[in-house]
């Protein structure tokens, strides 16, 4: 993973919000553009003149954020401290997560998780592939692919038809392109759509950090109300009731959004970790790891810890996701109950956290903000969490939980260690 200084992240932030589409270019292109604008100023007071002229001469959606970043750069030039936060967005977060969970190399490449020197653009790739399949270029291929594709991974069929028309060659080529670029994400979508329990009033599952997700199925009901005192004049009243339905698509969006929220919580925990808890956990983990190496004993001891520890251990045993929630409950006795891979994964997470001081981040869905000086650490933790999700059994675990089907013993190993190692070095998973 390429690392940058706080000043360079500030330049990237300025370019991201400029009205030139630079956010889809490589980091170096964005930095170079800002450096070029700054170099035009002859005096120190004129260095930002051309950038401010851009803000004066035009209007666009991100203009306030562009000006805000310029003010932070001005603070830097005047040696003033700044509390400015730089924000990085995930690249097509839903498809990215589904591709990581299913070990889809093609989907991970199209969403920036691998192929480190290339800034991925999922919907542009879909549009280009669609045009190749059709044999002629579409005028607004990327825009139409994004409009149609934003909801397709959540089970929508109406939006693609709205964009391309029902039964058209363009619609057929769109689906073919999606299946070629993100085949395993589409496979997971099929599994989520099939997980619907007919007439169940709610679907529930547990995430790797022990968060219980319960989604009630709310059905819209309408009744006509007449008022005798107003000579029969009435109105239509609509409300929602918790009722089951025979068929439904909601699991697709709900499960992916819940995983997105889990990723967010995990990132907050790793960036703003509790120093004392992590140091204590790492001490016991490293001692246990050394002890087993000397005794040539890789297996965990058999036994029970206490409620909280056992609760988080159960989440790992079920999903195989390395999650830091358990660190708080690791001590001299409980550490012996962890298996070797779990210990090594937690030790790695501890080392990553202890490499920096705890810092706060601000999250809005798939947008992550922090001080520019901390962005290297935030990006590293994001990659580590995505890699842990890839090198786990989370997809299978969630599908079995939602559909209420027991996971078979000794099933297929769906961990993707080689791909997860590539994800750890991602440059453009968030950017």
55-67 per-position pLDDT tens digit: 787 888 888 999 9
| Residue 78 in this model has a pLDDT that exceeds 90 | no
Mean pLDDT of 215-243: 87
| Residue 293 in this model has a pLDDT that exceeds 80 | no
Percent of the chain with pLDDT over 90: 67
| Residue 334 in this model has a pLDDT that exceeds 90 | yes
The pLDDT score that the predictor gives to residue 299 is: 65
The pLDDT score that the predictor gives to residue 414 is: 62
Q: What confidence category does residue 98 fall into, taking pLDDT thresholds of 50, 70 and 90?
A: very high
Q: What confidence category does residue 303 fall into, taking pLDDT thresholds of 50, 70 and 90?
A: low
Q: What confidence category does residue 377 fall into, taking pLDDT thresholds of 50, 70 and 90?
A: very high
The pLDDT score that the predictor gives to residue 300 is: 58
Mean pLDDT of 124-135: 93
143-160 per-position pLDDT tens digit: 888 988 888 998 889 999
The pLDDT score that the predictor gives to residue 38 is: 83
Q: What confidence category does residue 82 fall into, taking pLDDT thresholds of 50, 70 and 90?
A: confident
| Residue 39 in this model has a pLDDT that exceeds 80 | no
Token couple for 20: 């030139």
Q: What is the pTM assigned to this prediction? A: 0.92
The pLDDT score that the predictor gives to residue 129 is: 94
Query: Hey, where are the domains in the chain?
Result: 6-84, 103-194, 204-248, 252-423
Mean pLDDT of 287-313: 76
| Residue 31 in this model has a pLDDT that exceeds 80 | yes
Mean pLDDT of 29-42: 83
Residue predicted with more confidence, 113 or 51: 113
Percent of the chain with pLDDT over 70: 94
Mean pLDDT of 373-399: 95
Q: What confidence category does residue 367 fall into, taking pLDDT thresholds of 50, 70 and 90?
A: very high
The pLDDT score that the predictor gives to residue 305 is: 57
The pLDDT score that the predictor gives to residue 405 is: 86
399-418 per-position pLDDT tens digit: 999 999 887 765 555 667 88
| Residue 362 in this model has a pLDDT that exceeds 70 | yes
The pLDDT score that the predictor gives to residue 348 is: 96
The pLDDT score that the predictor gives to residue 102 is: 94
| Residue 40 in this model has a pLDDT that exceeds 90 | no
| Residue 177 in this model has a pLDDT that exceeds 90 | yes
Q: What confidence category does residue 51 fall into, taking pLDDT thresholds of 50, 70 and 90?
A: confident
Mean pLDDT of 293-316: 76
| Residue 44 in this model has a pLDDT that exceeds 60 | no
Q: What does pLDDT average to over the chain?
A: 90
């Amino acid at each position: 993973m390429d690392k940058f200084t706080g000043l360079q992240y500030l330049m990237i932030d300025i370019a991201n919000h400029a009205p030139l589409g630079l956010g889809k270019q490589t980091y170096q292109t964005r930095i170079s553009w800002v450096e070029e604008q700054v170099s035009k100023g002859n005096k120190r007071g004129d260095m930002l003149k051309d950038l401010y002229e851009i803000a004066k001469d035009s209007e666009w959606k991100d203009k306030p954020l562009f000006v805000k970043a310029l003010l932070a750069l001005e603070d830097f030039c005047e040696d003033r401290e700044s509390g400015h936060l730089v924000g990085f967005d995930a690249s097509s977060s839903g498809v990215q997560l589904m591709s990581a969970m299913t070990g889809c190399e093609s989907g991970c490449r199209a969403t920036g998780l691998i192929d480190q020197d290339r800034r991925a653009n999922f919907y542009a790739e879909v549009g280009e592939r669609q045009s190749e399949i059709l044999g002629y270029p579409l005028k607004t291929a990327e825009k139409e692919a994004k409009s149609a594709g934003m909801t397709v991974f959540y089970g929508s069929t109406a939006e693609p038809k709205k964009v391309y028309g029902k039964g058209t060659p363009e619609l057929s080529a769109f689906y073919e392109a999606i299946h070629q670029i993100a085949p395993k994400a589409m496979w997971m979508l099929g599994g989520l759509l099939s997980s619907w329990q007919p007439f169940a009033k709610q679907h529930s599952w547990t995430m790797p950090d022990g968060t219980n997700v319960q989604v009630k199925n709310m059905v819209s009901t309408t009744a006509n109300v007449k008022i005798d005192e107003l000579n029969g004049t009435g109105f239509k009243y609509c409300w929602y009731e918790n009722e089951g339905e025979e068929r439904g698509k909601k699991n697709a969006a709900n499960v992916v959004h819940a995983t997105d929220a889990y990723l967010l919580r995990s990132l907050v925990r790793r960036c703003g970790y509790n120093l004392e808890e992590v140091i204590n956990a790492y001490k016991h983990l490293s001692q246990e790891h050394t002890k087993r190496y000397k005794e040539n004993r890789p297996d965990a001891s058999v036994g029970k810890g206490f409620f909280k520890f056992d609760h988080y251990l159960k989440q790992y045993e079920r999903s195989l996701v390395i999650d830091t929630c358990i660190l708080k409950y690791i001590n001299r006795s409980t550490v012996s109950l962890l298996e070797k891979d779990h210990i090594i994964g937690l030790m790695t997470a501890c080392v990553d956290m202890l490499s920096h001081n705890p810092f706060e981040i601000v999250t809005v869905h798939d947008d992550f903000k922090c001080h520019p000086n901390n962005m290297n650490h935030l990006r590293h933790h994001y990659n580590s969490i995505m890699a842990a999700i890839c090198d786990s059994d989370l997809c299978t675990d969630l599908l079995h939980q939602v559909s209420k089907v027991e996971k078979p013993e000794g099933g297929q190993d769906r961990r993707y260690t080689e791909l997860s190692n590539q994800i750890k070095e991602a440059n453009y998973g968030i950017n």
